[in-house]
Amino acid sequence: MLFLCLLLLNFLSLHAQENVKRKQLFDDDWRFFLGEETKASSDNFNDKDWRKLDLPHDWSIEGKVHPKNPTGAGGGYFPAGVAWYRKTFTVPENWKTQKTAIYFEGVYMNSEVFINGKSLGVYPYGYSSFSYDLSQYLKYGEQNVIAVRVDNSQQMNSRWYSGSGIYRHVWLIQTNPVHIAQWGTGISTFEISAKKATVRVETKLMNETESLQEITVTALIQNPNSNTAGRHETKVVLSPKSEKVVTQLIKVSNPALWSPQQPFLYKVLMQVAKQKKIIDESIVDFGIRSLKFTAENGFQLNGKTIKLNGGCVHHDNGALGAAAFDRAEQRKVELLKASGFNAVRTSHNPPSEAFLDACDRLGLLVMDESFDCWKIGKNKYDYSNYFNAWWKRDLQAMVLRDRNHPSIFMWSIGNEIPEREDPDAVNTAKMLSEEIKKIDTSRPVTSAVVNGGKNWDIFDPLMAQHDVAGYNYNLDKAPQDHTRVPSRIIVQTESYPKDAFKNWELVQKNKYIIGDFVWTAMDYLGESGIGRYYYSGEVPGEHWENDFFPWHGAYCGDIDLIGWRKPIAHYRGMLYNDKEKLYMAVREPAPEPLEIKQTWWSVYPTWESWTWTEYTGKNVEVEVYSKYPKVRLYLNGQLLGEKQTGEQQEFKAVFTVPYASGSLRAVGVANEKEQESVTLKTAGEAVQIKLVADRKEIKADGQDLSYIAVELRDREGVLNPNADRRLTFKIEGPGTIQGVDNANLKDFEPYQSLTRKAWHGRALAIVRSTHEKGEIKVTVSGDGLQPQTITITSI
């Protein structure tokens, strides 16, 4: 054991040195030009007047939201177009003996990459990761130029906000000509018990030389405590210009199993050696866990049935647009976990690597989705134009890249496919599913099917090509479908937010229904107006029926665009979890004689507010969500009533209360004793600003972020939910304000700005580090408000 530990330490030391060479972040010091420039691919093109920036970058979020922008309501009325990126870098002479590739995690869309004026290829799909070999085109010992043309001008091509540009990380990959292939290590686990597990490591090796190569491949497993858990060494002979897959089986004793509650992660450290000299190595994180799906027991993770409280999310990060900063992606997962979700569906495309890494670390199950359409499109310029030529490459890219993430429990091959009633759709689904299973047989395949008001039986042939049937809405039909097809395992891949209890009940009472994914877990840009509510007299209808500008985003999320949990999030979280047992909110009163109208994806607007002074003496409705048998409601110390809040009452009580300013308190009651309480207080005029940073220390790497929540409060420190003052943001020190927001999807002011109005007493500023260390001071001010400063340290 001591020998193995020393070996591991030596390996980690070697890896730390080698990894700098093998995979280098290539995000810094790019030049950017918005518009067409026909000569920009040339290595001698003069780009000195172009804008300097670091990736990730989304140019659409930097533009103005305008009703005439070609992305339309689906794209949130943001600008698109064509743009160029260029980066100049020096290649050392000693790279001649190595293989050098450039790896893009995601470029939206239709990117063409050039090296020193030579086109390496065009990649249409904006959500796939891809790479190009640069080796034969590099000038060794000289400067080289990478140029990338990004074309998002063909509109509309998306039903939601896509963003534009190199919005995910870029890497340089350098290897020996004898090396592990890109995404070449696949890890699976089986024969799992409390005492042992078997880890299968399959590694694709490549010999890009003209000679036979005799090598040794070593797989070394490190457990969550950084101790060696197993090792396997294999001698391999590679023919010239060949590739080979090596399989190694390693026994792990007393495995720590990955789960949402305990997301234990292992590492496999892969070494390729020739004559005892390491020539290539990589580290891959993975988890040991078992997945089983049956109609009799539903979804079992590590032998235990688990019910999925899932949410669908799109890929944007609010005020950052599509830019996939690692911190933004992790914060998204943190918000989902804090809201009680245990699963997420990546609607309707593969997510960033940072998002999946965060799901692994924090314990969030993932349904990884590939496409929004197949052969028949939903927009003129969407993926249907590329499906026939590109589906295999894009599907392989998703599965090969993502297969080692323990958080991923299921693959999805599509969403609401337009040709779903056509017999050819059955063939396409079979083709996609079979392609996935050539790479990964450990996970089931589904897709999200909508029945359009028809009975599900017409989709039986299509559903038969899936391991799990994905129902978009209409889960109430599942019991009769189960009678017809008893072996069918069902997951609701989308549901209306207002149907939370009904769907929870169906999931709990039927073992063959493994969970529910609400549309959506978080608000997002684009698909403008979905989830909106409106007042009588305003233009009626669902989001697709009219142009509802200035709406430029979706308000159907449990969590809003700045990270605040709406009341529906507390209710849904309470259904599936016991961490929160009591919550109170007030239904927004409609100004007479108007009425508040709802749309399909909306919930009635409720707020954590007891500041309705214009309704003094008039009835308002108070909603109390409770896991206690009963609740009591007090106003200014006087008991107003007591109501039951059990399952028969859907864990909810509604009180009608004549409004009076003061203190409203709800109390949970069990065994006739008051257990806990929540209170809402009437706020006075907003006079002070409260600033709270999610992180007071960030890395000086040009990538890290701090989210600063802004609240407008009265003299007593009570949030004023009606305050909408204009705020001004000032920043000093080694940082920039990357975005500002207030969650109001009808406020179409720029997201990259130094000013924003508060909405319901809240706003948000996102600070990005530079490459310098020091103190970053952010000051927020507004008329009638005492300015407030907060300090972030960049280290």
Asked if residue 105 belongs to a domain, the reply is: yes
Do 147 and 222 sit in the same domain of this protein? Answer: no
Do 195 and 217 sit in the same domain of this protein? Answer: yes
Distance CA 656, CA 646 (A): 19
Give the pair of three-digit tokens for residue 418: 């337009």
The pTM for the full model equals: 0.95
Q: Which of 494, 580, 623, 711 is catalytic?
A: 494
**Cβ contacts of residue 2 below 8 Å, gap of 6+?**
none
Active site residue 233: no
Tell me, what's the pLDDT at 11? Answer: 41
Do 587 and 717 sit in the same domain of this protein? Answer: no
**CA count, 13 A, side-chain hemisphere, 307:** 18
Domain boundary among 175, 209, 230: 175
Asked if residue 235 belongs to a domain, the reply is: yes
Do 75 and 132 sit in the same domain of this protein? Answer: yes
Residue 772, domain CATH = 2.60.40.10
* pLDDT tens digits for range 627-653: 999 999 999 999 999 999 999 999 999
Do 450 and 403 sit in the same domain of this protein? Answer: yes
Strand partners of residue 707: 766
Do 183 and 161 sit in the same domain of this protein? Answer: no
Do 377 and 497 sit in the same domain of this protein? Answer: yes
Q: Which of 208, 281, 416, 608 is catalytic?
A: 416
Neighbours of 755 (CB within 10 A): 12
Tell me, what's the pLDDT at 456? Answer: 86
Domain boundary among 126, 149, 175: 175
Residue 106, domain CATH = 2.60.120.260
Active site residue 105: no
Task: State the 10-residue block means of pLDDT for the chain, 795 residues long.
Answer: 40 37 93 97 96 98 97 98 98 95 98 98 98 97 97 97 98 97 96 95 97 97 94 97 97 97 97 95 97 98 97 98 98 98 98 98 98 97 98 98 98 96 96 98 97 87 96 93 96 98 97 98 98 93 94 98 98 95 97 93 97 96 98 98 97 98 98 97 98 98 98 97 97 98 97 97 98 98 96 98
Do 669 and 717 sit in the same domain of this protein? Answer: no
Tell me, what's the pLDDT at 765? Answer: 98
Structural domain boundaries enclosing 108 = 22-175
Do 414 and 498 sit in the same domain of this protein? Answer: yes
Distance CA 9, CA 263 (A): 24
| 8 A C-beta contact, residue 724 and residue 734 | no
Domains in the chain, number:
5
Asked if residue 599 belongs to a domain, the reply is: yes
Tell me, what's the pLDDT at 454? Answer: 81
Asked if residue 693 belongs to a domain, the reply is: yes
The DSSP H or E segment spanning 479 is helix 478-484
Asked if residue 379 belongs to a domain, the reply is: yes
Asked if residue 542 belongs to a domain, the reply is: no
Do 390 and 503 sit in the same domain of this protein? Answer: yes
Distance CA 469, CA 449 (A): 8
DSSP 656: E
Asked if residue 229 belongs to a domain, the reply is: yes
Do 282 and 421 sit in the same domain of this protein? Answer: no
Asked if residue 315 belongs to a domain, the reply is: yes
Q: Is the dihedral of CA 393, 394, 396, 402 positive or negative?
A: positive
Do 325 and 453 sit in the same domain of this protein? Answer: yes
Residue 408 CA: distances (Å) to CA of 43, 537, 703: 42, 46, 26
Between CA 103 and CA 111, with CA 108 as vertex, the angle to 5 degrees is 60
Tell me, what's the pLDDT at 598? Answer: 96
Distance CA 573, CA 11 (A): 44
Domain boundary among 111, 145, 175: 175
Rounded CA Rg of the chain: 27
